[in-house]
Chain A
Amino acid sequence: MRRLNWFSPLPPARSGISDYLWHVLPALTERAELTLWTHQDDWDPALESYGKVRKTHASGNFWRQMNEAEMSIYHVGNNPLFHGEIWELSTHHPGVIVLHDVALQHLFIEVFIQYHGNVAGYVGAMERFYGRRGRRAARRLVDHECTPEDLCAHFPLTPLATERALGVLIHNRDGFDALSSHGRWPVASCGLPFAPALRALRPAARPDDGVKRLIVFGHLGRNRRLEPLLEALAALEHRERFHLDVYGEVWNADYVRQLRDSLGLERQVELHGFVPDAELDTALSRADLAVNLRFPTVGETSLSQLRIWQHALPTLVTNAGWYSELTRDAVVRIRMEHEAEDLRHWLTRLLNDPELFVRIGERGRRLLEEMHSPERYARVTMELVERAIEFQRRATAFHLAGKIASQLAPWEGCESVTAAKRRSAEAILSLFGEHSE
């Protein structure tokens, strides 16, 4: 069995990635011996049945223990609280990077500017990957002339996380093609694992009262589109035939309540706040349609979508990022540029053609079982680990080549630089290239 270092937020940390551990660990620990590293002070003791849990830097032996494992796996997402340290470690001790977000602007802005006060580091990184355009964009952000969201699409800064990676695992196809085209590290893609057995589900007992129950849940930021949803509901002819339950923290509950009341939806829309998992599951099992819109999106796969599918629930999603890759019949896609129109259309359709929605929900559930099985996920992960171990032998060559390129960059433009590049490439390959390239 391979020995692996594992870096991710650990339950009960409030992070989708920490929830995902329960889905991945049982299958993965059958194939590898894991050490779960964390800087959290507490973690769910149940984790210790899957591997040793250790605190990073708690002992002087930290690097020794790291080196004793054959590969390290780093989970990188946008929450700096959890992923800042994980990313920094991954630059010192390269390993497999699991990308949970397609754009990592938020992470790097926080890590460089908020944590380290290193504006130059952030601007430098933006310039390194995106040239002068990147530099200008970074300056605009520093000067508060734009928001991190504005930068995500063109300057995701994800390459900074994968720069020294020995392998990259992602959860959507789109990113896979982009990353594979580099031809550098081994890349694998696999849908997020979801182990339905983890939650005992009651059979759906949807009350037949003629009211269609909609549900929205999660950490509800403004990008979750509550406002247009409420407006669409208000504009429906048969608004009284809908009921919307909102679970989870809302970015500004007072404002949302006010909006609801002003639209006259007091009776149709209920804000429940944060509730225990069991209660949420009950609500999901009773619902007819989930609404899981996100815009702007950083394109991540959503664990909440998998949870929705577990209940064979049809879902309205934004046609962007990971959601745009989903097969047409497994979700209902809302076009961003016609959001209000599409919402009205599909909500009305729910009243008229409920069978269609049941079929969509079932298709979603099948997709979950086929594409998100923990077994498959563990297999793909371990195959990637093997390729990463293999790639490690050549990683130094890539690293040095990058260094040479950056040394020569200021001298670019003269003919002899090309010759020097060729010569350096030969030197690097002769020592570190395993004579295979």
Chain B
Amino acid sequence: MRVAIATVQVPFVRGGAEILAEDLRDALVARGHRAEIVAVPGKWYPLDSLMSYVLTCRLIDLVDAFGGPIDVLIGMKFPTYMIPHPNKVLWIIHQYRQAYELWNHQFGLINAPGGGEVRNAIEQADRQAMGESRKIFTISRNVTSRLEEYLGAESTPLYPPPRNAARFYCGEPEGYLLFPSRITLMKRHELLLEALAKTHHPVRVRCVGQGDTPEYAEEMRQRASELGVAERVEWLGWLSDSDILREYAHTLGVIFPPRDEDYGYVTLEAMLASKPVITCSDSGGPLEFVVDRETGRVAEPDADALAAAMDELWEHPEQARRWGDEGRRRYEALGIGWDYIVDHLLS
């Protein structure tokens, strides 16, 4: 089959969505299909550009390509799933969140001039795109329930496996907790630092990942100093794949407390490395996998609760190991894999 994968291209920004599209393309090719990523360039600001971007996608002709028709169009991201196609399947990473569950948040459209009008328009366009698609999948139950809540659209989660899934391994804990996330507001590094200031044990944390902006990363460093925990936090920045695998292998446990994450590879990566995960009760995606006191801790999103969870892992490494093993067992049972995904997308 000839499959086009539609996603966005915001120049000089690369993240999980781009990687997922490439993984999907490779998975399709590995199964004998021909697949190509169509990344429509555009930008999100100002809102006027955003609405033009939506229309741009709608005007793209992707029915026919060189040498014959395109059999399936897989739309992954707003607004590229507006591209018309008679056989459109959505595998949604997330909607334009600022118009939905983040409307009222500090990134939300509520803070933009004309935000209400744009929110209405986006909702209308989304309804249309969902309605004309043959099937709708999402990357997580969290995204599925948001679609249900805001658009009344039914969808099925298809969990994408983390990259390098086969290469994760478990080694001896070396006295630190791992926090692998981009340094950005939604990942809540500040909450972690505040919690760290409240732990009873000398808990140490390694943060892997770069700041979305150097300014924000610097702000977090300063915050760590203010809270008197600078000595107990290491900022490792960007790491190579093998270094990341090593950090996972030797951590006591993984901390992942984002605010309403769509999905979160981090949880699955921790499970692959047989490590317990500490997350928060409002973290979204991770809650689909972390079972409190069986594969990690689900804490309230406040510094005290998070501190208590970290202390608990620190104090009981044997229990942490058991929870980690249980996480790995559950990952195996989930049957997450590309065969499953490709079969469903193309069925």
Q: Which of B106-161 contact A (CB under 8 A)?
A: 109-118, 120-121, 124-125, 128-129
Cα A167 to Cα B124 in complex, Å, equals: 21
Cα A66 to Cα B82 in complex, Å, equals: 30
Q: A93-B114, A392-B117, A432-B124 are in contact. List 6 more A-B contacts (CB 8 A).
A: A66-B113, A166-B117, A423-B59, A431-B129, A432-B121, A434-B124
In the complex, the answer to whether A63 meets B113 with C-beta atoms within 8 Å is yes
Determine how close the nearest CB of chain A comes to the CB of B93; give it in whole angstroms: 20
Q: Interface segment, A196-204, A366-374, A393-401?
A: A393-401
In the complex, the answer to whether B116 meets A431 with C-beta atoms within 8 Å is no
Determine how close the nearest CB of chain B comes to the CB of A260; give it in whole angstroms: 53
Mask of B271-287 contacts with A, CB within 8 angstroms, 1/0: 00000000000000000
Kindly name the residue among A89, A93, A424 whose own CB sees the greatest number of chain B CB atoms within 10 A.
A93
Cα A396 to Cα B124 in complex, Å, equals: 11
Q: Which of B59, B115, B125 contacts A432 (CB under 8 A)? A: B125
Number of residues in B with C-beta < 8 Å to the partner? 23
Kindly name the residue among B52, B110, B114, B121 whose own CB sees the greatest number of chain A CB atoms within 10 A.
B114
In the complex, the answer to whether B124 meets A67 with C-beta atoms within 8 Å is no
In the complex, the answer to whether A67 meets B110 with C-beta atoms within 8 Å is yes
Determine how close the nearest CB of chain B comes to the CB of A5; give it in whole angstroms: 11
Residues of A within 8 A of B51 (CB): 396, 399-400
Residues of B within 8 A of A89 (CB): 113
Q: Which of B55, B111, B120 contacts A400 (CB under 8 A)? A: B55
In the complex, the answer to whether A64 meets B111 with C-beta atoms within 8 Å is yes
Residues of B within 8 A of A403 (CB): 52
B58 within 8 A of A: yes
B196 within 8 A of A: no
Q: Closest 9 CB pairs between A and B?
A: A396-B121, A92-B113, A431-B125, A427-B58, A93-B113, A67-B110, A67-B115, A93-B114, A64-B110
Residues of A within 8 A of B24 (CB): none
A337 within 8 A of B: no
Cα A189 to Cα B112 in complex, Å, equals: 31
A418 within 8 A of B: no
A94-B124 contact given A424-B59, A431-B58, CB 8 Å threshold: no
A428 within 8 A of B: yes
B54 within 8 A of A: yes
Determine how close the nearest CB of chain B comes to the CB of A287; give it in whole angstroms: 48
In the complex, the answer to whether B128 meets A63 with C-beta atoms within 8 Å is no
Residues of A within 8 A of B58 (CB): 427-428, 430-431
Residues of B within 8 A of A67 (CB): 109-112, 115-116
In the complex, the answer to whether B124 meets A68 with C-beta atoms within 8 Å is no
Residues of B within 8 A of A92 (CB): 113-114
Residues of A within 8 A of B114 (CB): 92-94
In the complex, the answer to whether A63 meets B118 with C-beta atoms within 8 Å is no
Mask of A76-98 contacts with B, CB within 8 angstroms, 1/0: 00000000000001001110000
Cα A68 to Cα B111 in complex, Å, equals: 10
In the complex, the answer to whether B124 meets A393 with C-beta atoms within 8 Å is yes
Kindly name the residue among B111, B112, B117, B129 whose own CB sees the greatest number of chain A CB atoms within 10 A.
B117
Q: Which of B54, B113, B118 contacts A431 (CB under 8 A)? A: B54
Mask of A401-437 contacts with B, CB within 8 angstroms, 1/0: 0011000000000000000000110011011101000
In the complex, the answer to whether A68 meets B110 with C-beta atoms within 8 Å is yes
